[in-house]
Amino acid sequence: MSKSIAVIGLGRFGKKLATTLYDMGSDVMAVDKDAELVQNVSGNVTYAIEADVSNPDVVKGLGLKEMDVVVVAIGQDLASSIMAVMIAKEQGVPYVLAKAKDERMGSILTKIGADKIIYPEEESGQRTARILLSDNFLEFFEIDDNLCLLEIKPKPEWIGKNLIELKLRDKYRINVVAVKDHSEMRSFIDPARPLEEDTELLVILEKKDLKYIK
């Protein structure tokens, strides 16, 4: 089932995040007060809305309560970011991410309810999109244009089974390069050892095959 995600703020980070999420199958509402930015992204999201999110009545009218995730990607405008985060949480959005330009802004947004803070110098829109779309993804790293490295949690149906039984390479086109359990990362992998709930897998795969494990 695809997620419904609102991205508020269509600067470089927000635009990349919104279009990547849409390309990966999500329903994406993209919002910005700049008509040109909204027009530029309109063909690459589910729907794009021109709106001034510094106005609380406007934010309330966006229908954020219907979203699984809201990303406040405004960054430079603290007042608008605060307004968007507060209203999203008041309307019951389960998960709100907020972009912050520095730790002070991040601290403020956390205190008013943001579930996660994104610092654009540390995160890319594409990487954030990958993590958002799977409850299993812990970290996402690009190796090159074709390959990526993921740290993932086992799917529920994998628990109690070993790598031989799971045939992850055949079914999901992924290669397990390390296993972490009980806080210890091991490059030696015992394929006959059953996976536990706290097991984490470090895997390499082609980007086009991400859809098989999200």
Instruction: Supply the pTM of this predicted model.
Output: 0.63
Give the whole-angstrom CA distance, residue 55 versus residue 150: 39
Give the whole-angstrom CA distance, residue 136 versus residue 60: 31
pLDDT at 134 over 70: no
pLDDT at 186 over 80: no
Task: Residues 4-132: name the CATH superfamily.
Answer: NAD(P)-binding Rossmann-like Domain (3.40.50.720)
pLDDT band (50, 70, 90) for residue 205: confident
Reported as a single tens digit per residue, the pLDDT across 112-133 is: 899 988 887 545 666 666 666 5
Question: What sign does the CA torsion over 85, 89, 91, 93 have?
Answer: positive
- Chain centre to alpha carbon of residue 56: 25
Residue span(s) of the chain under CATH 3.30.70.1450 come to 137-212
pLDDT on residue 123: 55
The predicted model gives 24-36 an average pLDDT of 92
The predicted model gives 17-35 an average pLDDT of 90
The domain at 137-212 falls in which architecture?
A: 2-Layer Sandwich (3.30)
The predicted model gives 85-91 an average pLDDT of 93
Residue span(s) of the chain under CATH 3.40.50.720 come to 4-132
pLDDT at 29 over 70: yes
| Strand partners for 184 | 181
pLDDT on residue 3: 82
pLDDT at 75 over 80: no
Instruction: Provide the token pair at 13.
Output: 């980070």
In the 8-state DSSP scheme, what is residue 114?
-
Question: How many Cβ atoms sit within 10 Å of the Cβ of residue 156?
Answer: 10
